């Protein structure tokens, strides 16, 4: 499959995702619903990210695009530092509008880190995972505006992961197993990190995301371990092998989080400060005071 043909298919997919995204967003104005709004925003971000990645790869010789993407790498850390002040006094409408600024800046930064950097480089993956770990610790101790770096970190990695998936499709060549494996693994990493973000932030449909992502992570790990030895991995190119190793780093990180969550629930609850005291419903019964009667003994 040529690069131009693949680019056309990704453009069609981006357009198909854009249609329901606009419908959900318009629907949320008529019937306010956090789940509908979130789904619309998610589909819109996915559509823009897919198209941006494909366009950037096809036009990788564009010097202006490379300069803008490279400059955004230095601007994005400044945005993370000033973002708490941007959202501190903003209402919901202004906050939604302001969120477009970090989104497009993160898209440009991800173009440089995940598309124009060496495909087998672990630099961007390591830096973002360290940033996510730090933001998790900050979120754990409920420091002021701790949700902002946590949300930005995971969103940044998710956007970059989508772009890297598109890049893997372009450089897969005739290695069909590599193409399907990277598509499946990167999609699973994206969905799992998104579920973790929704769960920690207590956003709508978080529990559904967690259940689905956990099931997919366990089944996906088993499938990859069983099929990989029969895929001719030894004969793969050096770049393809290094890319698989790069994908395994965030995969292992997410797998560790899920193991920690379900195999050591006591440690998980202790880390997040979750109370272990169980409360039982009152079955709708009305509480009442029992009159105390003191009977004095007669001498």
Over residues 123-156, the pLDDT tens digits come to: 888 888 998 888 888 887 877 777 878 888 898 9
**By the 8 A CB rule, do 232 and 62 touch?**
no
Residue 95 is predicted with a pLDDT of 60
Of the candidates 126, 127, 116, 121, the one whose C-alpha atom is nearest the C-alpha of residue 163 is 116
Residue 213 is predicted with a pLDDT of 85
Residue 255 is predicted with a pLDDT of 83
Q: What residues in the chain have per-residue pLDDT under 70?
A: 1, 80, 83-98, 267-299
Exposure letters 23-59 (e unless 16+ CB within 10 A, then b): ebbebbeeeeeeebbbbbbebbbbbbbbbbbbbbbbe
Query: Could you tell me how far CA 30 lies from the centroid of its own chain?
Result: 28
Of the candidates 104, 111, 131, the one whose C-alpha atom is nearest the C-alpha of residue 48 is 104
Cα–Cα dist 280/238, whole Å: 58
Q: How many CA atoms lie within 13 A of 271 on its CB side?
A: 13
Q: Model pTM?
A: 0.82
- The domains of the chain are located at 60-268
Instruction: Compute the C-alpha angle 121/213/39, nearest 5°.
Output: 95
Rg (CA), the chain: 24
């Amino acid at each position: 499959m040529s690069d131009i043909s693949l680019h056309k298919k990704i453009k069609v997919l981006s357009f198909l995702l854009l249609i329901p995204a606009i419908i959900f967003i318009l629907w949320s104005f008529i019937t306010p619903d956090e789940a509908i709004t979130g789904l619309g925003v998610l589909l819109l971000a996915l559509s823009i990210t897919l198209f941006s990645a494909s366009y950037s790869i096809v036009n990788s010789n564009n010097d202006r695009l490379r300069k803008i993407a490279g400059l955004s790498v230095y601007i994005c850390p400044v945005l993370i530092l000033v973002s708490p002040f941007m959202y501190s006094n903003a209402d919901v409408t202004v906050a939604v509008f302001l969120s477009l600024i970090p989104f497009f800046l993160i898209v440009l930064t991800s173009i440089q880190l995940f598309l124009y950097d060496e495909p087998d480089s672990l630099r961007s993956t390591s830096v973002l995972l360290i940033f996510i770990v730090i933001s998790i610790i900050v979120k754990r101790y409920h420091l002021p505006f701790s949700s902002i770096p946590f949300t930005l970190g995971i969103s940044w990695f998710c956007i970059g992961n989508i772009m890297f998936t598109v890049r893997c499709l372009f450089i897969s060549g005739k290695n069909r197993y590599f193409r399907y494996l990277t598509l499946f693994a990167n999609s699973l990493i994206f969905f799992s990190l998104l579920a973790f973000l929704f769960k920690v932030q207590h956003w709508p449909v978080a529990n559904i995301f967690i259940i689905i992502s956990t099931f997919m992570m366990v089944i996906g790990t088993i499938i990859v371990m069983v099929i990989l030895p029969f895929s001719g991995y030894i004969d793969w190119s050096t770049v393809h092998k290094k890319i698989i190793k790069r994908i395994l780093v965030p995969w292992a990180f997410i797998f560790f989080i899920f193991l920690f969550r379900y195999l050591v629930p006591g440690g998980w609850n202790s880390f997040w400060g979750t109370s272990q005291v169980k409360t039982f419903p009152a079955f709708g019964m009305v509480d009442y005071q029992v009159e105390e009667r003191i009977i004095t003994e007669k001498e």
